[in-house]
Structure 1
Amino acid sequence: MSIVVDGLVEVHAALQHAPTGAVVVDRAGVISWANPAFASIVGEADPAALRLSLVTLWMEQEDGEALLQMLQSHFATSAEARLPWTRPTTFTRIDGAEQPGEITLAPCAGAFDQFAILHVRNMIRLATAEKRFSQIFENLPLGLIVIDSRQRIVQLNQALADLFGYAREELVGSSLDTLLPPRYRTEHHHHVDGYTHSPVARSMGLGRDLTGLHRLGREIPVEVALTRLETMAQPLYMAIVTDITVRKRGQEALQQTNAQLEEFTYVASHDLRSPLRGIADLISWIREDLGDDTMTPEVRHNFDRIALRIDRAEQMIDDLLRYARAGNRDLETEIVTPCDLVEEALSLALVPDTFTVDVDIAEGGSSFRAPRAPLATSLRNLIGNAVKHHGGAEGKIRIGVRENGRYTVFTVDDDGPGISKGNEERIFKLFHRASPGTSGEGLGLAFTRRMINAHGGMITVRSPGDLGGACFEIHWPRVLLKEMDDD
């Protein structure tokens, strides 16, 4: 008997400070000793108070009955053949709260004939994490699907089922091929096999258009991101599937519009130039036939007006061509510095000496990669407009640069008459002039906006600005979004 007592004392000492619960029980499930970790699980402050109570009292009835059956089988087996047994369970605490746990029945060294050790693991953190994951999985407005190493669908959320037109129960257990167009299936198997050997979170189909197969047989343009799910059982892999149908349609519509605009502009310029040149030649010949000596001053003035208007019409055709080309993104990029861009724009904008120019780039002076020409041209156009539409011999212009998120913001502010209320958007339209008394065809701001938009930026105006006139802001992207890179 002393051997048994000594053996149990050693077991108690080893388990006293274990981070998981431990209980020594006999074949009837009576507790002879419990450590503080187990007492905490059931809400008892003093582990000694648990002595001589039944461990099954803290368990649900079904789990308690299963444990008693296992104890009988455990003690009916020879000591050398006893193996651990594990089962998830739920404990009911003193305060009535339920505590998820996991029990493992193991032999008790030194007291094989009378006692066994019940190891108890508190699963509350794991259960909470699983609940949070389940809530995110079910409520995320993106399609989520989990597959195993055999590419069988293990789990999916309602968003993915709706995307592909299936009921969830129809897809669970089926092959992933169900959601793939036939032409992709063989290649996709190779890609997934390669991913399982090197499971690093990444996007699928970089540089390629991916589609999924709807239940009705139509294909859906999608984006897919893959990641591995860490589980204690078999390896699982989760895909995040995004329907990009609307975005694709928008991109295609924009591309078609740009192509049609460019085609129309080239055709119109060709068809308009020929008759204009014919008219110019006819006017020149009539003038030569009449001779300057025989024409009255009024007739000569009218001939000059006709020639001027022909020149203006040809200039409008050239401006239309420039506007169409402004929709093409410049792929040649370099490291640009805001300070250099502002200096270059000021040197080319021909700002009169009578104008005061203040430059503030302290907060946005860091360099970034961008196409230099369209950005420099946009700045030059805005600075030139600030002078052109000022209306006075003297004026003030303030140029600022700051960083705002993924954009560098260039501000051109002046103390001129500003933009009349209601015209803030109209000034960016073709052939609309901000100041009727100035020269030009009203294409500069339309050209500038089209060029900025083509490179992923935007331009806005507010009036009055800080100086009382118009304040234009260019938001130029320091980092391009993926859809811009894919163009």
Structure 2
Amino acid sequence: MKLAMHITPDIEAPLTHAPIGAMIVERTGVITWANAVCATLMAEPDADRLRLGLVFVWFGEQDAETLRQMFDVFFSAPIAQRDPWTRKFVLHATDGSRPVISLTLAPVAGEDEGRAVVYLRNTTREITAERRFSQMFETLPLGLVVVDAKGRIAQANAMLASQFGHPIEDMVGQPLNMLLPERYRDAHVHQVADYGAAPESRMMAAGRDLTGLHASGREFPVEVALTRFENPGQPLFMAIVGDITHRKRSETALQQTNAQLEEFTYVASHDLRSPLRGIGDLVTWIREDLDEALGKGALPESVTHNFDRITQRIERCEQMIDDLLSYARAGVRDTKLHRIDPRELVEEAMAMAVIPDSFEVEVDVHGKDLMAPRAPLSTSLRNLIANAVKHHGGTAGRIRIAMREEGRFSIFTVEDDGQGIPEGNEERIFKLFHRASPGTDGDGVGLAFTRRMINAHGGMVTVQGNGPLGGATFEVHWPRILLRETDDE
């Protein structure tokens, strides 16, 4: 590194307030003047105390010898050929500190051959930053690879070596293509050239699956982020590589589970409805045959009651099939977003839930409009409000509906002063066909349906069995800001 310095005839004036240390020295190394920054670097209280001292004594023995050689070579050259010369040294300050400095020896413009300017710049912070970066580069639990403009690997960390099964020394200097399946390599050469022409921080091949090639020949899914790597020489680029094998497996397993559940529900709908309807028809025919044989109204009351019970149970089975279908469909995310006023949404859900006049309702909404699918969010709130009335345990009570913003979520709260939920049952109430209150109507699908619908849209619902009002408190965390993996599905 060379610094072109131009010193005015009055050389001390412009250097007095310079942001780096500066001193004027004789060819013998004697200091004739120094500024305040120089004194601070050397831990001296006053720059005047440096005058007539020998510059070499501020360095260790080996560095001092190197600096003497710099002086000899510098002052031996004709003054017209004395270019600034920079090297790094360790300064031995008075207080015992050992800052690493960048020392530049430069000529004094317009003067004779006997003096030079020495500039001192503390590089300790730069070195510390470099060490921290190196430590982070090596220990980050993601693969990191630095690539030059020709697509060759300039640097790689241990995680990348582990991901791809190659020792670091076998990767450095090799084409980045070695980490890609053969079928992608030709296209990748052009992609590297295009990125070099207009580098920007971005995800690589957004919307497409990327595959890496392990040393064993096995391919595995990866996620890659690209960014420019600052370098004073040739341009470099850094890729951050994440092995997403486990995530892909989980996504595939979830997709298969959802597909199997949907398939099962449709099969159940078709295969169970027919025999149920057949049973219902048989019951009707038997009842008509008995009425015809014995006379209208001649059946004992107990027999009539049992016929009614059979009919009711058949109807309940059909309703359960419908609910099962609704539960399966609840796992499908609605991609149509609408701008929603949260207070208007709460009022709409309250109206649809049909709250009795005997219940006092408090609404406390603090939040801005949000972008979300309206139907699933409205349905979820309506179900929770209706649930608060149905399982309250009394004919009158108090319900509080609130909304606040926290992080990337809008949090809706529905709480009541009813009988609450027994300890240990907080998760059980969300299970399919579990009835929270045996004495109430319903088949135990509502809360399971609600949770599945909320989860499908990137949110979550939790419950506190005995909340601030004494009864159950449900909290719905609905995302105001979608994460990339949710948004890109």
> Counterpart of 1:392?
394
Q: Does 1:308 align with 2:312?
A: yes
How many angstroms apart in 2 are the aligned matches of 1:267 and 1:460?
A: 32
Contact 1:177 1:185 in 2 (8 A): yes
Give the direction of change, closer, same or farther, for the CA distance of 1:169–1:57 in structure 2 (3 Å limit): farther
Contact 2:412 2:477 in 1 (8 A): yes
For residues 100-157 of structure 1, give each alpha carbon's deviation from its aligned partner in whole angstroms, at most 9, with x where no partner exists: 1112222222334323333222212322322332333333333333222233323333
Give the direction of change, closer, same or farther, for the CA distance of 1:110–1:454 in structure 2 (3 Å limit): same
Task: Count residues with an aligned counterpart.
Answer: 479
> Counterpart of 2:370?
368
Q: Which amino acid aligns with 2:436?
A: A
Secondary structure at 1:109 match in 2 = coil
Shift of 1:41: 2.2
The 5 Å alignment of 1:92-241 reads 92-241=92-241
Q: Which runs of 5+ in 2 are unaligned?
A: 1-6
Contact 2:354 2:386 in 1 (8 A): yes
> Counterpart of 1:3?
none
Give the direction of change, closer, same or farther, for the CA distance of 1:173–1:29 in structure 2 (3 Å limit): farther
Contact 1:8 1:111 in 2 (8 A): no
> Counterpart of 1:299?
303
- Taking only the aligned residue pairs, the percentage that are identical comes to 59
Residue 346 of structure 2 is aligned with which of 342, 345, 348?
Answer: 342
Q: Does 1:328 align with 2:371?
A: no
Contact 2:283 2:307 in 1 (8 A): yes
> Counterpart of 1:359?
363
Contact 1:211 1:221 in 2 (8 A): yes
> Counterpart of 1:270?
270
**TM-score, structure 1 as length reference:** 0.91
Secondary structure at 1:92 match in 2 = coil
Q: Does 1:472 align with 2:474?
A: yes
**TM-score, structure 2 as length reference:** 0.91
Give the direction of change, closer, same or farther, for the CA distance of 1:40–1:396 in structure 2 (3 Å limit): closer
How many angstroms apart in 2 are the aligned matches of 1:406 and 1:8?
A: 59
Shift of 1:52: 4.1
How many angstroms apart in 1 are the aligned matches of 2:86 and 2:370?
A: 59
Q: Which moved more, 1:149-158 or 1:426-435?
A: 149-158
For residues 445-485 of structure 1, give each alpha carbon's deviation from its aligned partner in whole angstroms, at most 9, with x where no partner exists: 11111111111111111121222221111111111111111
Q: Which runs of 5+ in 1 are unaligned?
A: 1-6
For residues 229-250 of structure 1, give each alpha carbon's deviation from its aligned partner in whole angstroms, at most 9, with x where no partner exists: 3333333322222232222222
> Counterpart of 1:379?
381
Q: Which moved more, 1:179-188 or 1:261-270?
A: 179-188
How many angstroms apart in 1 are the aligned matches of 2:415 and 2:70?
A: 83
How many angstroms apart in 1 are the aligned matches of 2:93 and 2:174?
A: 42
Shift of 1:9: 6.5
> Counterpart of 2:22?
22
Contact 1:409 1:473 in 2 (8 A): yes
How many angstroms apart in 2 are the aligned matches of 1:16 and 1:414?
A: 74
The 5 Å alignment of 1:25-40 reads 25-40=25-40
Contact 2:145 2:160 in 1 (8 A): yes
Q: Does 1:83 align with 2:83?
A: yes
Q: Which moved more, 1:262-271 or 1:95-104?
A: 95-104
How many angstroms apart in 2 are the aligned matches of 1:466 and 1:90?
A: 65
Contact 1:357 1:396 in 2 (8 A): yes
For residues 390-429 of structure 1, give each alpha carbon's deviation from its aligned partner in whole angstroms, at most 9, with x where no partner exists: 2322222111111122111111112222212221111111
> Counterpart of 2:65?
65
Contact 2:463 2:473 in 1 (8 A): yes
> Counterpart of 1:4?
none
How many angstroms apart in 2 are the aligned matches of 1:406 and 1:77?
A: 67
Contact 1:354 1:394 in 2 (8 A): yes
Secondary structure at 2:99 match in 1 = strand
How many angstroms apart in 2 are the aligned matches of 1:259 and 1:248?
A: 16
How many angstroms apart in 1 are the aligned matches of 2:8 and 2:312?
A: 112
Q: Which amino acid aligns with 1:348?
A: M
Q: Which moved more, 1:327-336 or 1:218-227?
A: 218-227
Contact 1:60 1:92 in 2 (8 A): yes
Shift of 1:88: 1.9
Contact 2:137 2:144 in 1 (8 A): yes
How many angstroms apart in 1 are the aligned matches of 2:190 and 2:154?
A: 20
- What CA RMSD, in Å, does the superposition of the two structures yield over aligned residues? 2.3
Q: Which moved more, 1:433-442 or 1:132-141?
A: 132-141
Contact 2:291 2:299 in 1 (8 A): no
Give the direction of change, closer, same or farther, for the CA distance of 1:60–1:160 in structure 2 (3 Å limit): farther
Q: Which amino acid aligns with 2:338?
A: E
Contact 2:9 2:109 in 1 (8 A): no
How many angstroms apart in 1 are the aligned matches of 2:31 and 2:468?
A: 80
Give the direction of change, closer, same or farther, for the CA distance of 1:197–1:287 in structure 2 (3 Å limit): same
Q: Which amino acid aligns with 2:461?
A: I
How many angstroms apart in 2 are the aligned matches of 1:446 and 1:140?
A: 40
